[in-house]
Structures are given as C-alpha cells and as structure tokens.
C-alpha cells in the first residue's frame, strides 16, 4: 500500500517532468524493489568481436564500424551531445589507429576508387563506410587526407545514383530501386557529410531522402501495423513483405539522421524537421508494437506480419529474428534519449526485447536465431551468426548503456 503510493507519487513526478521536457538527468535515485526485473547486460565486447570477424560485405563493414563507434567511442558517434565540437566533425589524433572503429575501417576502406568498397551492384551499400572515412579524413595525420578525398568521391557517387520517380536515391547502381536497407547506408552518410562540409543544403537532402523512401516503402494498409515498411520496391528485386530487418535499417538510419540534426549547432533548432523524423521512427516502432512477437524467442518474426511477398500471405509462420529485433530495440532506445517525453513508451517497447536478445545470445556473444542476411526468403532460421545482427545487438547494448547513463533508462523496472 505504502509502496503503491510511492509509485503513484513517482509516476506523477515523472509525468510532470516529461511534460516539461526537462533535460535528461537522474533526479530520482530511489530504487523500488517491488516487481522490479533487472535488464540483463549484453556483452558488447563479445557481440562486436563477432560482428568484426564475420563481416565480409561493404554494408556489414560499415554497420560494424558504426557499432564499434557506439560501443567503444560513444563520444565520436552522432548520438553524443558533443558529436560536433565547435560545430565540426571531431578531430582524432594521429592516423586514428587508436580508435577501434577507425582501425577496423582502415582495413576495409578502399581509397582509390569512386566508392569506399565494392558494392556488388549496390550503389548505396559502400556509403555505409562513409562516416568512418570522414572521421579518418579529419584525423591530425597528413597521411589521412586520402580518406577525405575518398569520402568526397563516395558522396559524389551516391548522389549520382539513379533516382526513383520522387527523387529518392536508388540502392542499386543500374536501376532505380529502393531498399529499406539503404536508409542505414545513404541518409546518415549524407547528413554526416553535410556537417563535414558545413553544407545545410546537403543536410536537408538527407532528411528529405528519409521522407522520399517512406513515401514509397511504407506499407499500404490501414491495419494496426500501419507505419511499418515493406522491403524493396523496384523492377529488379521487388518484395513487398514487411521484413523485420528492413524496418530496423530504416528506423536506425533515421535515428542517426535525427541525432546528427539535433547535435549539430547549425541545425539543432530545426524543430519541425526533427519532429518529422521522430514521427517516421515512431510509425515504425508503433507498427511493430501492434504485432505480437514470436513466443518462442520473444523476437519479431522475420516478416513481422504476413509473408515475404505480401502482408496478407499467412502460409508460413515465420521464425523470430534476433537481427531485426535488435535493430528496432537500438532505434527505440536512441529515440528515448533524444526525446525523453517518449521514453516511457520506448522503454516499455525495448526492455522485453533486450531481455529476449540477452537470452538468445550465447557465452561467445553469438545471437541466434536470426534471418539469413543473404537470403531473407528462407524459412530456415540462421544460427551461425549474422554479421549485421551482431552489429545490431552491439548497438542495442550500447544504446541501453547510454540510456542508463543519461538517466532516462533504469536498470530495474518500475511497476505499480
Ligand atoms: C552542398 O550540397 C549540395 C547538395 O548536395 C551541392 O549541390 C552543393 O554543391 C554543396 N555545396 C558545397 C559548397 O559543397
Ligand atoms: C502502395 O500503393 C501505390 C498505389 O497503388 C503503389 O504505387 C505503391 O507502390 C504501393 N506501395 C507499397 C509499398 O506497396
Ligand atoms: C506466400 O508465401 C510463401 C512463403 O514465402 C510462398 O511460397 C507463396 O508462394 C506465397 N503465396 C502467394 C499466393 O503468393
């Protein structure tokens, strides 16, 4: 009874605090032990180590670089409130070799061509290495200027991609085709390039790419899961299934663009643009929230609802996918810190997923089951380690840590 009252009082305090959008601090250090369940820790050193060793494609390298920044050098990632000291991309010392993400990036980035890696037909994927290249290019060593020019060439390449009817930049080099995946590769790189080049027009372009992709890929439905995105629209590989990982790519890509806009002094006051991006991310999270997870794993199914070609095809009961689930979890936790008024909603979404992720990760840090990242149509769960899934779970672990450190997430849950 007394505890119940404290909980009510606390909830009121929290409500009041949120309605004023107070900066994220930890004003209430009272820990309540009633029905509290602690959130299991994700060993991000191990999950990231597998992301590094398993990655072998351009987008996997780029995603792993981002995961390593978030895990090992959060001060350099766009989620840091000091992401852009003096309004500029941070300057790392020497050749950047001491920064884990950059030491890894150096092994993967090619500095002699129009793209930072071989995209194997994808014009968007190599752009995922772009943030790493820009950071390397801004290092103090003069040896690193090659990365600066390589990042600039990559930018020119991706901006010259075939355009969809509405102006969205293609994920494919030869045809105009939109993949939800590209939301993680291209717009965040455009946004980071905008800061590096002090180019407001380019930052607006990064934001508008999110809107243009959403216009094409968001599922046509009025069902409860409206807001979720289909996977690919185009003439080559179209697949209108609501792919969990695709939604994860989109939400994570947009939250990185949002963080870039918010944490760059020049754009920090762009409230309508930030509100727009937040709305797009919320549409995805709320769409997922409306669909039950696979009870066996606690993960969203590989096709969150329906099948690979249609949201209405229920011939297969899809397995739970840890990769897409981890990406959605990380995105929600980042949004909780960026917009604390949304924190209760985002945390109640993310916490059970984090618990499922931890439960389905072994002592070596291997997350399983996931979708086979190279064959999203297969009904066989993948158990030998997905490179992108390993990066996503590392991001989810880093996002939780940062959310706790910001005083927004608490390691025990408050329940009345
Ligand atoms: C800024 O970006 C826009 C859009 O990509 C580009 O057309 C323009 O040349 C850039 N401006 C500078 C000064 O680099
Ligand atoms: C939604 O419907 C419109 C109009 O029929 C179509 O052009 C578009 O491709 C559809 N989008 C998806 C994701 O199915
Ligand atoms: C429904 O999905 C299954 C599994 O992906 C596929 O084999 C089948 O062809 C689909 N059915 C229709 C009518 O498209």
Confidence category of residue 326, pLDDT binned at 50, 70, 90: very high
Would the pLDDT of 21 be above 90? no
128 exposed, middle or buried (CB, 10 Å; 0-12, 13-18, 19+)? buried
Q: How far apart are CA 82 and CA 182, in angstroms?
A: 26
- Ligand 3 neighbourhood includes 307 CB (under 6 angstroms): yes
| More confident position, 324 or 22 | 324
Confidence category of residue 39, pLDDT binned at 50, 70, 90: confident
Find residue 122's DSSP bridge partners. Answer: 172
Q: What average pLDDT does range 64-73 have in this prediction?
A: 98
- Ligand 3 neighbourhood includes 375 CB (under 6 angstroms): no
Would the pLDDT of 23 be above 60? no
- Ligand 1 neighbourhood includes 28 CB (under 6 angstroms): no
Which of ligand 3's atoms lies nearest the C-alpha of 316? Answer: 4
Give the per-residue pLDDT at 12.
40
Q: What is the DSSP letter of 191?
A: H
Ligand closest to CA 229: 2
Give the per-residue pLDDT at 24.
39
Give the per-residue pLDDT at 38.
82
Mean pLDDT in the chain?
A: 92
Structural domains in the chain, CATH included, are 1-34 (no CATH), 35-405 (1.50.10.10)
- Ligand 3 neighbourhood includes 373 CB (under 6 angstroms): no
- Ligand 3 neighbourhood includes 397 CB (under 6 angstroms): no
Would the pLDDT of 8 be above 60? no
Q: What average pLDDT does range 283-298 have in this prediction?
A: 98
Would the pLDDT of 18 be above 60? no
Q: What are phi and psi of 336, to 5 degrees?
A: -60, -40
Would the pLDDT of 35 be above 50? no
Give the per-residue pLDDT at 92.
97
Give the per-residue pLDDT at 40.
85
CA torsion 78-159-277-236 (nearest 10°) is -120
Confidence category of residue 37, pLDDT binned at 50, 70, 90: low
- Ligand 1 neighbourhood includes 63 CB (under 6 angstroms): no
Q: Is 169 left (phi over 0), alpha (psi -120 to 50) or beta?
A: beta
Other C-beta atoms within 10 Å of 97: how many? Answer: 14
Q: What average pLDDT does range 264-276 have in this prediction?
A: 98
Give the per-residue pLDDT at 31.
39
Find residue 178's DSSP bridge partners. Answer: 233
Ligand closest to CA 205: 1
- Ligand 3 neighbourhood includes 119 CB (under 6 angstroms): no
Q: What average pLDDT does range 295-321 have in this prediction?
A: 96
Give the per-residue pLDDT at 412.
64
Give the per-residue pLDDT at 332.
98
The answer to whether 148 and 80 have CB atoms below 8 angstroms apart is no
Q: How far apart are CA 188 and CA 277, in angstroms?
A: 12
Give the per-residue pLDDT at 20.
33
Q: Name all residues whose Cβ lies below 6 A of ligand 2.
A: 217, 219-220, 230, 233, 240
Atom 13 in ligand 3: residue holding the nearest Cα? 313
Tens digit of pLDDT for each residue in 365-415?
999 999 999 999 999 999 999 999 999 999 999 999 999 999 999 876 544
Q: What average pLDDT does range 328-347 have in this prediction?
A: 98
Give percent of the chain with pLDDT exceeding 70.
90
| More confident position, 413 or 207 | 207
Ligand closest to CA 204: 1
Record the tokens describing residue 138, joined without a space.
């801004």
């Amino acid at each position: 009874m007394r505890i119940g009252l404290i909980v009510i009082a606390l909830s009121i305090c929290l409500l009041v605090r949120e309605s004023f959008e107070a900066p994220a601090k930890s004003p209430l250090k009272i820990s309540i032990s009633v029905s509290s369940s602690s959130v299991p820790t994700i060993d991000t050193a191990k999950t990231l180590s597998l992301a590094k060793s398993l990655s072998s494609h351009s987008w996997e390298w780029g995603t792993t670089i981002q995961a390593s920044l978030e895990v090992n050098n959060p001060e350099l990632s766009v989620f840091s409130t000091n992401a852009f000291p003096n309004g500029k991309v941070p300057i790392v010392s020497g050749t950047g070799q001491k920064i884990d993400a950059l030491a890894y990036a150096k092994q993967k980035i090619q500095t002699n061509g129009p793209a930072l890696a071989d995209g194997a037909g994808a014009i968007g994927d190599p752009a995922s290495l772009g943030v790493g290249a820009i950071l390397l290019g801004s290092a103090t060593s003069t040896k690193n200027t090659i990365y600066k020019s390589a990042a600039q060439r990559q930018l020119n390449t991706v901006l010259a991609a075939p355009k969809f009817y509405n102006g969205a930049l293609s994920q494919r080099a030869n045809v105009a085709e939109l993949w939800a995946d590209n939301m993680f590769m291209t717009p965040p790189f455009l946004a980071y390039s905008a800061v590096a080049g002090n180019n407001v027009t380019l930052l607006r372009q990064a934001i508008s790419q999110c809107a243009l992709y959403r216009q094409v890929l968001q599922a046509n439905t009025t069902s409860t899961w409206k807001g979720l995105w289909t996977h690919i629209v185009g003439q080559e590989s179209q697949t209108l299934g609501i792919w969990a990982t695709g939604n994860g790519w989109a939400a994570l890509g947009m939250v990185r663009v949002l963080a870039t806009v918010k944490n760059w002094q020049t754009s920090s006051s762009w409230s309508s643009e930030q509100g727009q991006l937040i709305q797009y991310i919320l549409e995805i999270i709320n769409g997922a929230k409306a669909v039950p997870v696979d009870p066996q794993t606690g993960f969203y199914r590989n096709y969150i609802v329906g099948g690979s070609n249609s949201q209405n095809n229920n011939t297969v009961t899809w397995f739970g996918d840890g990769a897409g689930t981890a990406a959605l979890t990380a995105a929600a936790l980042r949004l909780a810190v960026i917009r604390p008024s949304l924190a209760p909603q985002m945390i109640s979404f993310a916490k059970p997923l984090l618990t499922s992720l931890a439960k389905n990760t072994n002592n070596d840090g291997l997350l399983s089951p996931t979708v086979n990242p190279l064959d999203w149509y297969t009904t066989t769960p993948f158990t030998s380690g997905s490179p992108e899934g390993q990066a996503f779970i590392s991001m989810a672990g880093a996002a939780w840590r940062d959310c706790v450190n910001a005083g927004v997430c608490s390691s025990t849950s408050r329940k009345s």
